[in-house]
Amino acid sequence: MTTTFSSSRLGESCVQQQRAAHYTARFESVNGYFHRLARFIGTLIADDLLSLTAIHKIGHFFNHLEVIMSSIRDQIRRNFVALVSLTVALAGFGYNTWRNELSEENRNHRTVAIELLLELGSFQRLVFQRHYDKDETISPRVGWAHVLMIRDLSTLLPSTEQQGERLRSTWQSHWSSLGENQDSADQVLAETNTLRQQVLAVIASLE
């Protein structure tokens, strides 16, 4: 009886080993991370840690999974052209959106730059009239209005904010001596010309 029991146990163990080898091979046919899962389950089977019922259930599961993956691959093959068309459409839509945003930003910068050039021209004309023409009717308040507008507009453009603030500071230090001190006029006009060159550089860089 002991011999019969041992033979039965040995036979069952052989069956389990054969099934383990079979399902391990099936498991390893599944792509991706299922390979690692297949090896782990195969180890459990080989170590006699899973029952025959569990082995059958796992086998059915992977059979079903393989059918699903095969169906997915077939769907991809059949709809490859549609998938490529969808990818191209999405890429085109993304590019157009980015391009429209860039174009809008460039238009805004160009508008601000032109307005800033007009303000700089008006301010420079005021300095000429005040210093060289000795026009006493030119009020410093008018100059301040131009300078503050120039400073505010310069904050809306890349790389011009600092120069706009320098022009405001220079005007604050020298406006009262215009018409009397050539150095004051030279410094104000120099800062004005520097800012104008920066604005022209911004316009040239716009696409």
Chain segment 9-18, per-residue pLDDT in tens: 555 555 555 6
The pLDDT, as a whole number, for residue 197 is: 95
Q: Which residue carries 């230090």 as its tokens?
A: 173
pTM of the entire predicted model: 0.57
Give residues with Cβ within 8 angstroms of 42, minimum separation 6.
Answer: 20, 23, 24, 27
The pLDDT, as a whole number, for residue 138 is: 80
Alpha helix segments (H runs only) across 28-139: 34-46, 52-78, 80-131
The pLDDT, as a whole number, for residue 2 is: 45
The pLDDT, as a whole number, for residue 17 is: 59
Mean pLDDT, contiguous 10-residue spans, the chain (207 residues): 49 56 52 59 54 61 72 76 79 79 85 95 93 83 92 93 94 89 93 95 87
The pLDDT, as a whole number, for residue 10 is: 53
Q: Is 40 helix (H, G, I), strand (E, B) or coil?
A: helix
Task: Domain ranges for the chain, please list them.
Answer: 2-79, 99-205
Give residues with Cβ within 8 angstroms of 188, minimum separation 6.
Answer: 127, 167, 170, 171, 174, 175, 178
The pLDDT, as a whole number, for residue 136 is: 79
The pLDDT, as a whole number, for residue 69 is: 77
CB-CB contact of 46 with 13 (8 Å): no
CB-CB contact of 132 with 124 (8 Å): no
The pLDDT, as a whole number, for residue 49 is: 45
pLDDT tens per residue across span 66-110: 777 777 777 777 777 777 788 888 888 887 777 777 788 889 999
